[in-house]
Amino acid sequence: MSILITNIKKLVQVEEEHRPWVAGESMAHLPSIENAFLFMEGETIVDFGPMERCTYEAETIIDASGKLVFPSYCDSHTHLVYAGSREIEYIDKIKGLSYEEIAKRGGGILNSAKLLHETSEDELYQQSMKRIDEIVRMGTGAVEIKSGYGLTVEDELKMLRVIKRIKETAPLTVVATFLGAHAVPAEYKTRQSEFVDVVIHEMLPLVAAEELADYIDVFCDKGFFTVEETERILLAGMKHGLRAKIHANELDYSGGIQAGVKYQALSVDHLEFTGDAEIEALLNSDTMPTLLPGAAFFLGMIDPPARKMIDSGLPLALASDFNPGSAPSGNMSLICSFGCIKLRLLPEEVFNAVTKNTAYAMGLSETHGSIAKGKIANVFITKEIPGYEFIPYSFGSNLIENVILKGKVIA
């Protein structure tokens, strides 16, 4: 099967020489070719360049006159396997209830854990696949999905088996993260460290034995898991070959960023509370700072110092955090808008943050995140638009017309 896209108004994020990520000033450069072609065969990108160099024939030819072609979005942080929804808590929040009050009424992560417990594995898969279908149509070609609404050995395994089934059946690329330490179940409230033992000694060995996870995560923050507990979990994960991707500094200067860097985490995510010490730690590391502006927007939180982070020379990734509590949307074009509007990033910086840098944050930088020869043929074609700046500018619109994943036209 071969696909040729011709007359592309602009082919965005092309890459001749592999770079694992883009950082600092380079984030403002988005290499693109005007009036271009793109040729894909099987699952891979074979060639691309200016139209006058195009000599290919193909089984499927798509004329993209007036349209832009992008590498698919990589969404490196989601919790999109969950049961039901929590819009009632959302209403309570509008009425003025605090997070604590909502939790006391049985809301929050523990509410999702209860719903997940009551839902069969098959039903959980069906519900999650609807969300997969939705994000695929909105341009996402690779997604990371976390467990963490199980909170018991059985339910964590149930979630991870659903993620595995999605990996095997969905058209996009999926990576799985074990987030056993997402919240402390009510029955462990006064003995949190015993729950950490359950995560390390009961959940983790089974997760590793069934090869259900690629990465390990901990919610390292005020009121959740401490740095010391996080370090214990990350060390145990490393013994099972799982690299860390952690939730850090969403609620306070928790030390999570430094803990992530110390254990060579692939990414540290959220980062609303990032100061000079955190930036310094990240500058000498291979850890991708990842911001989740959809969650900050939905919860009305302070924004992380994104501009300062880039100006200090750091790379930045932007992901959706798609989950029922703090970010019930996996719309990466909207994340691009938030990146520009709320974080004051340039469109070029934003597109680097949702393609190349999120591909790195999922361990997929060799195969995803740019238009490069030999990479997986994951791309989307826009509607007729004036330029790529139009995507973040038209916040809330879906400007994606066609989706090609692993060399197949999906939408």
Minimum Å gap between C-beta 250 and Fe ion is 8
Q: Please, what is the end-to-end C-alpha distance for the chain in angstroms?
A: 16
Residue nearer to ligand NIG on the CB measure, 12 or 362:
362
Contact flag: residue 30 with ligand NIG (CB under 6 A):
no
Q: Which long-range contacts (CB under 8 A, 24 or more apart) does 102-111 make?
A: 108/183, 108/325, 109/148, 109/149, 109/151, 109/182, 109/183, 109/325, 110/151, 110/183, 110/185, 110/186, 111/86
Residue nearer to ligand NIG on the CB measure, 48 or 298:
298
Contact flag: residue 257 with ligand NIG (CB under 6 A):
no
Contact flag: residue 75 with Fe ion (CB under 5 A):
no
Residue nearer to ligand NIG on the CB measure, 15 or 272:
272
In whole angstroms, give the CA distance from residue 405 to residue 378.
4
Q: Which residues 210-239 are close enough to bind ligand NIG by CB under 6 A?
A: 219
Residue nearer to ligand NIG on the CB measure, 17 or 300:
300
List, as one string, the DSSP characters of 90-102.
HHHHHTT--HHHH
Contact flag: residue 250 with Fe ion (CB under 5 A):
no
Contact flag: residue 326 with ligand NIG (CB under 6 A):
yes
> What secondary structure letter does DSSP report for 406?
T
Minimum Å gap between C-beta 44 and ligand NIG is 33
Residue 359: which residues within 8 A CB-CB, separation 6 or more? 74, 76, 142, 365, 367, 368, 369, 370
Q: Residue 255, exposed/middle/buried by CB under 10 A (0-12, 13-18, 19+)?
A: buried
Residue of 216, 218, 295, 379 that binds ligand NIG (CB under 6 A):
295
In whole angstroms, give the CA distance from residue 264 to residue 245.
9
Count the residues of the shown chain that bind Fe ion, applying the rule CB under 5 A: 1
Residue of 321, 343, 353, 369 that binds ligand NIG (CB under 6 A):
321
- Any idea what the Cα angle at residue 248 is, between residues 296 and 146, rounded to 5°? 85
Residue nearer to ligand NIG on the CB measure, 112 or 128:
112
Contact flag: residue 324 with ligand NIG (CB under 6 A):
yes
Contact flag: residue 304 with ligand NIG (CB under 6 A):
no
Contact flag: residue 285 with ligand NIG (CB under 6 A):
no
Contact flag: residue 321 with Fe ion (CB under 5 A):
yes
Locate all alpha helices (DSSP H) within 342-406, ordered by sequence.
Answer: 347-354, 356-361, 390-393
Partner from ligand NIG, Fe ion, none binding residue 326, C-beta < 5-8 Å depending on class: ligand NIG
Catalog residues that contact Fe ion under the rule CB under 5 A: 321
Catalog residues that contact ligand NIG under the rule CB under 6 A: 79, 108-109, 112, 219, 247, 250, 295, 321, 323-326
